[in-house]
Amino acid sequence: MITAQDVNKLRTMTGAGMMDCKKALTEANGDFEKAVEILRKKGQKVSASRSDKDAKEGSVFVKTSDDKKEAVLIALNCETDFVAKNEEFQSLGKMIAETAFAKKPADTEALMNEKVGNLTIREKITELVGKIGEKLEISSFVHMKGEAVVPYIHAGSKLGVLVSLKGVNGKDVTDAGKDVGMQIAAMNPVAVDETNVDKTVIEKELEIAKAQILAEGKPANMVDKIAAGKLQKFFKDNTLVHQAFVKDSSKTVAQYLDSISKGLAVAEFKRVAIG
């Protein structure tokens, strides 16, 4: 006979709902280990049944080393903002970020297979899916190292940025890094500078520019020259170091950093957004 104490014990062990625990214990004939397995399998079924749902809500989580030279940023997605604010969801996100920082997996798939206790991250996610009934997924995982790596989490934890700075010369550049992180969050640059812009993006911009120029009736022999000018404008507006600094538009981001410390510059950045 399944007692109320048995149900409460399994509920305490797993965090699952009372009726789910009672059904699992009944199906397992009172065997707690088997009941836990049944609940986990229920989670897997829920996960599978919701695989076609959109997980466009969630939170970003960050873990930074004490020396501020290394950090990880992950995005954990769910279906509703209500779940994103749930304590268990938040705890899971923090645990995943801490595991990613400690284990340094190669990619998201490797992170999913990392173990925390007796369960993998994948199994931990499946367990919570079983409890809350929503699709959960790690949509982004970034690991960054540098002379100084500064995180910036935008209000609401829906958007996160990691900025790696070079030319630090032993100085505390945390505030400057956060300013640049805010810039990246707001302006969404395509790259640090023109040398880092993907070739396919450059080709596409040139193609668009040439089509616009011909449509305007400009002479064919002027197309390449005008298109090159439009491309430079694209770099100015869309690459980080050339953008006008959001907190002082009289300076570019590069000039702002140089004013903080001569030679201070951005080595790389990653921007991760929910949705």
**CATH number of the domain within which 43 lies:** 1.10.8.10
User: What's the sign of the alpha-carbon dihedral 224, 226, 230, 236?
Assistant: positive
Q: Tell me which of 106, 124, 145 is where a domain ends.
A: 145
Name the least confident of 22-36, 73-87, 141-155, 244-258.
Answer: 22-36
> Is residue 221 assigned to a domain?
no
Domain boundaries, position 33: 4-49
What is the distance, to the nearest Å, from the Cα of residue 154 to the centroid of all Cα atoms in its chain?
12
Domain for residue 202, yes or no? no
CATH code for position 100? 3.30.479.20
Do the Cβ atoms of 132 and 72 come closer than 8 Å?
A: no
Asked if residue 111 and residue 62 are part of one domain, the reply reads: yes
Given a cut of 80, whether residue 131 has pLDDT beyond it is yes
- In this structure, are 103 and 68 located in the same domain? yes
Over residues 182-205, the pLDDT tens digits come to 999 999 999 999 999 999 999 999
Look at residue 113 and tell me if it is in a domain: yes
* Distance in angstroms (rounded) separating the CA atoms of residues 48 and 28: 22
Find tokens 């006008």 and name the residue: 244
Out of 108, 128, 145, a domain closes at 145
Query: What pTM does this model have?
Result: 0.84
Give the pLDDT band (50/70/90) at residue 14: confident
Q: Does one domain contain both 85 and 141?
A: yes
Asked if residue 245 is part of any domain, the answer here is no
- Asked if residue 248 belongs to a domain, the reply is no
Query: Using CA of residue 45, residue 108, residue 97, residue 54, what is the dihedral sign?
Result: negative
Last residue of a domain, one of 96, 117, 145: 145
Beta strands across the sheet bearing 265-273: 148-153, 159-166, 265-273
User: Does residue 58 form part of some domain?
Assistant: yes
Contacts of residue 216, defined as CB under 8 A and 6 or more positions apart, other chains included, come to none
| DSSP assignment letter at 195 | G
Strand duo 244-245 + 248-252: pairing: antiparallel
Confidence of residue 47 (pLDDT cuts 50, 70, 90): confident
